[in-house]
Amino acid sequence: MTGVIDHWSKDVEYDLDDVALRIRRRVLDMCLGRGQGYAGQGLALADVFAHLYFRVMRRNPDGSLLDRFVLSTGHSAIALFATLGELGVYEEEELRTYGQAGSRIEESPLEGTPGFEITGGSLGQGLSQAVGMALGERLRGSGAKVYCLLSDGELQEGQVWEAAMSASHHHLDNLVAIVDNNHMQADGAPAQVMEVEPVVERLAAFGFVAERIDGHDHEALRRVLPHASVAQHGPVAIVLETVPGKGVETFEHHHKVHYLRLTRDVWDEAIAELG
């Protein structure tokens, strides 16, 4: 699933605050073309993506990823595209075609998009696919871990819980589910649409070792997302409390931060605010 890595080296210990800031800048830059996109999710997920791709996930000697990442929440693809931009998989110019007709940089990824294991546009399916991959990697004896990002809105899909049940049944100690628990979905707050809390307790009841952290606290991310070489005992779930639009105050309080459609001057102000 990998592209050419020319910005990443195993010998470098990255400043992950700085990597996250650069991912955030790219997210905003990607939205400038059409003046719209899932910038809120991209800004919110920049911290965890910096940790996953620049510290946690292991690579083979040729630079391809040994560990695997499954983006179940397809519409949050902007965060992964921006991260892949930092890794040199995509050029800045192409990333700027985000969401435009004919572009590979879709708002939700198409099949075969470099750097993406699945399409994910239809929510609720990724954890099942990640479970299958984790089983497959175990059978192959590859030692690879599988990380799967899903969202709080997605937890309303029954298939997620079937997948969770099978993960613990099969004792998948190479699976890490990460929930973007931002208390938001397209039509409001899950608490109003259909409550998903208590997320940690529910995942624990399904056999996960589950923990909730502030998804922007780099120390906490370091603790709960250890380097993939560290052994775990069964499936792990990390519930990230995230703030949509993190880093741009007007976005953090924007009533339509699920999907931002803004004028050029507002995007420019956001870029300036980020610094």
Ligand X SMILES: Cc1ncc(C[n+]2csc(CCOP(=O)(O)OP(=O)(O)O)c2C)c(N)n1
Which positions touch Mg ion (CB under 5 A)? 151-153, 182, 184-185
From the list 181, 160, 184, 182, the residue with the least C-alpha distance to 235 is 160
The one-character DSSP state at 159 is H
Residue 123 binds what, of ligand X, Mg ion, none (CB under 5 to 8 Å, by partner type)? Answer: ligand X
Task: Name the region of 22 (left: φ>0; alpha: ψ -120 to 50; beta: rest).
Answer: alpha
CB of 99 to ligand X, least distance (A): 14
Q: Shortest Cβ distance from residue 196 to ligand X (Å)?
A: 9
Out of 186, 189, 191, 194, name the contact with ligand X by CB under 6 A. 186
> Is 110 in contact with 117 (CB distance < 8 Å)?
no
Judged by CB under 6 A, which stretch of 138-146, 152-160, 197-205, 217-225 contacts ligand X? 152-160
- Residues 220-259 touching ligand X, rule: CB under 6 A, are 258
Q: Which is nearer to ligand X, 144 or 257 (CB)?
A: 257
Query: What whole-number distance in Å separates Cα of residue 127 and Cα of residue 112?
Result: 18
Least gap, CB of 170 to ligand X (angstroms): 25
Q: Which of residues 14-53 bind ligand X (CB under 6 A)?
A: 41
The torsion angles phi and psi of 68, rounded to 5 degrees, stand at -120, 145
**Least spacing, CB of residue 20 vs ligand X, in Å:** 18
- Residue 129 interacting with ligand X (CB under 6 A): no
CB of 104 to ligand X, least distance (A): 20
Helices (H), the chain: 16-31, 39-51, 77-86, 92-95, 126-140, 158-169, 190-193, 199-205, 218-224, 249-252, 264-274
At 127, list the tokens.
């954890």
> Does residue 154 interact with ligand X by CB under 6 A?
yes
